[in-house]
Amino acid sequence: MSTFHKDLIDCYTKDNFYKIQRLNPLVFQYTQGITGKALDLGAGKGVNSKYLSDRGFEVTAVEINPEAIKMIQRQGIDPQWEDIRELMWSRENHYNVILCLYVFQHLEDDDIIKVVEQMKCSLKKEGIMIISSFKAQSNRFSLENLAHLFCGDHKFKIFVKDNWKRMDVSHGNLHYHEGFYLGAKKTCV
């Protein structure tokens, strides 16, 4: 078993909280060795925010859903109740880590482009952003569309990108979910 997978399993089992609420493995894998300020856009229940906060990050968790806001507060994190499309979280060269995980399936293509541009602007030099999304029938935004927003921008290096498809038997009949993820680092300002 690789060190990465052993560490990940240890992380899930030593604290039931992480096991139940599913820390995103990409967050675990790619934020090692980074500290500072983290922005979690569409933070949901706040599990990724809580993990980064426990790691010593100063976390800004942004959520639109008041029920999710209460859950984030229960993690001891002070969330910002905002629509990420309003870009109130945007600050130039400010964050070391920016997450936007499983949120874009809720947004229109034009809003995704606007949000990604502000994420790029808000990232510090050497900072990383991780984006993942389900593929929703209602929007056509793809991994290729997302990667295109970084192509030809010499400030960014994509370090991971892929499509995924997973079987789900947790609710209803067996079905599949599809999505994609991308991680990019800001190499200069």
User: For residue 59, what are the contacts with CB-CB under 8 A and spacing of at least 6?
Assistant: 37, 38, 39, 40, 49, 52, 53, 77
Q: Cα(103)–Cα(166) distance, rounded to whole angstroms?
A: 18
* Mask for 8-27, x = binds ligand SAM (CB under 6 A): ----------------x---
Task: State the minimum distance, in angstroms, from the CB of residue 125 to ligand SAM.
Answer: 25
Among 44, 79, 127, 183, which residue interacts with ligand SAM (rule: CB under 6 A)? 44
Q: How far is the CB of 2 from ligand SAM (least distance, A)?
A: 24
Closest CA to 11 of 44, 54, 42: 54
Q: Which stretch binds ligand SAM (CB under 6 A): 42-50, 52-60, 87-95, 181-189?
A: 42-50
Site for ligand SAM in 89-118 (CB under 6 A): 101-103, 106
Q: How far is CA 86 from CA 82, 89, 90, 157, 186, in A?
A: 7, 8, 9, 26, 23
Among 83, 153, 162, 168, binds ligand SAM (CB under 6 A): 83
Total residues interacting with ligand SAM, rule: CB under 6 A: 17
Q: 152 — alpha (psi -120 to 50), left (phi > 0) or beta?
A: left
The least CB distance from residue 101 to ligand SAM, in Å, is 3
CA geometry: angle 40, 63, 21, nearest 5 deg: 65
Q: Smallest distance, Å, CB 118 to ligand SAM?
A: 13
Residues that bind ligand SAM (CB under 6 A): 24, 42-44, 47, 62-65, 68, 83-85, 101-103, 106
